[in-house]
Structure 1
């Protein structure tokens, strides 16, 4: 071998941070050692991997083409080290999840994963669909669990489980108790909804096709709990995953609303970079998520 894994680590860290000093800090190295490792890699093969843009080191086209292969190589090396250390299938994985999934589904799966594979570690990042997608594309996350529909040639997008959006209001709202709402009711209501870029917002816009342009949106909020509190306060009606509303429906602090003429079903997805090496940890995570997602609709329904 005419390169070292340490050089590959420095290359990837520099690509991520776009700064050698920050890359060195992330690897617990001195800046001079990191600079030397990167320089030796480039000089050994007579290549240049970065262009200097102001104070940043930005991957050039050749560096970009090598990055996925370097990521895969390093992932396999880490897995091999784990096997040598007699840790078998155990590994460290970086998981990204959208707000609904991260706050209501991912944590129990993490707990089961770590119980099933003692010594494993899962780092969870919770952001909206747009942010999680970008992090997966940038190899910052091993896998994403998202709510939004995506099309990207660099991603494997795998159906995980179905989900249902639910309309809801406060118990004293004028629409409370109506058996169903028609499109005029929906168009005249004041709404508290998720922000653009979220999977829930995308699903809402899909369900409300033809009505969105004239909709009275009073508030756009990033967090599910903030939307629930605003609706409880009587500021409008909302639309969130039914998963997030079950406890409030049971307590009676919020009431479901029904508009059966609209399609409120959507899907949750796994997303992985196509060139990301799937370690045993990633494969085990996928398997566990699929086990946990089986027959999930039996736990709730519109009558609850």
Structure 2
């Protein structure tokens, strides 16, 4: 990696020449000289410096933007060349939206690690839009999402289907009814996920599609909190059947479905468009697609 660019990025991170020198374990004059040389080669001033502060100029902001991309590409180059010497091993940065990440991914990773113990995954759980952005920036190798993907240069492969059902407390008045009606559902408080969540996206679509206008809504940023709120009788919600297995076994939640209406969505794997992928990425990609195909082909 170019030393001048590396020093620039560290100064831009700390907005301090002295703290950048400490982080790089070099002298402050060495940091200053690298910045002078970079400014000279670019014929542009990158920092506005006073006795009290250091700020990026407009040119500095441009160099920072592209410098981060260069750092990401350089790290990828190192990883991919090193990957040629590896045998089914290496790091793997996975991002997942909440439903899959909290309730399905741990079981998938356990089976994957049993087969490929030398792959070392790290996992980030966030909403669909956050995962999409992190995959696009190169922070994540692979994303698993349940919402629509809007960014360019992202490859999307649908690999599994998911059913969503209306849930309520086992003691809710509607739990005793053999069939729920639209007017019954409109009178309820609906507990929903935050905007940017794949579950919130399909909830809004389902409500609109079935012409349900809830009397009120409550918004929470966690599926687990929504389940707790529903169990406590605060309202009803639309959640994946994958998220309520334990509650169904315990009998604390009741499932209702709209007449003649099955609400489903797709789980998708997302990756950046690239000619290259690490062995760890390819192994996990193939594993999750194969495992999904086998589960959907099983009877029952």
TM-score class, shorter: 0.7 to 0.9
The answer (yes or no) to whether the contact 2:39–2:45 under 8 Å persists in 1 is no
Verify: 1:287 aligned to 2:286, yes or no: yes
For residues 243-262 of structure 1, the aligned pairs below 5 Å read: 243-262=242-261
Q: Distance in 2 between matches of 1:271 and 1:125?
A: 14
> Equivalent residue for 2:139?
140
Q: Deviations over 1:236-282 (max 9, x none)?
A: 11111110112211221111101044451101111222258421111
1:82 deviates by: 4.4
1:116 deviates by: 2.4
1:295 deviates by: 4.6
Larger radius of gyration: 2
SS in 2 for 1:159: strand
> Equivalent residue for 1:266?
265
For residues 174-253 of structure 1, the aligned pairs below 5 Å read: 174-209=173-208, 214-253=213-252
For residues 1-304 of structure 1, the aligned pairs below 5 Å read: 4=1, 10=6, 18-19=13-14, 29-30=24-25, 35=31, 39=35, 42=38, 46=42, 55=55, 60-61=61-62, 64=65, 68=69, 71-84=72-85, 87-209=86-208, 214-275=213-274, 277-296=276-295
The answer (yes or no) to whether the contact 1:132–1:146 under 8 Å persists in 2 is yes
Q: Deviations over 1:87-137 (max 9, x none)?
A: 323110111111111111111222233332333211101111122122222
The alignment of Structure 1 onto Structure 2 pairs a total of residues equal to 292
The answer (yes or no) to whether the contact 1:20–1:35 under 8 Å persists in 2 is no
SS in 2 for 1:179: coil
SS in 2 for 1:185: helix
Give the direction of change, closer, same or farther, for the CA distance of 1:93–1:183 in structure 2 (3 Å limit). Answer: same
The answer (yes or no) to whether the contact 1:146–1:268 under 8 Å persists in 2 is yes
The answer (yes or no) to whether the contact 1:160–1:269 under 8 Å persists in 2 is yes
C-alpha RMSD over aligned residues: 3.8
SS in 1 for 2:176: coil
Give the direction of change, closer, same or farther, for the CA distance of 1:210–1:289 in structure 2 (3 Å limit). Answer: closer
Give the direction of change, closer, same or farther, for the CA distance of 1:299–1:234 in structure 2 (3 Å limit). Answer: farther
Q: Distance in 1 between matches of 2:286 and 2:92?
A: 14
1:298 deviates by: 7.4
Give the direction of change, closer, same or farther, for the CA distance of 1:173–1:288 in structure 2 (3 Å limit). Answer: same
Q: Distance in 1 between matches of 2:107 and 2:9?
A: 31
Q: Distance in 2 between matches of 1:78 and 1:7?
A: 22
TM-score (norm 1): 0.78
TM-score (norm 2): 0.79
Instruction: Give 5+ residue unaligned stretches, structure 2.
Output: none
The answer (yes or no) to whether the contact 1:187–1:211 under 8 Å persists in 2 is no
121-130 vs 215-224, greater mean Cα deviation: 215-224
SS in 2 for 1:141: coil
Q: Distance in 1 between matches of 2:264 and 2:31?
A: 52
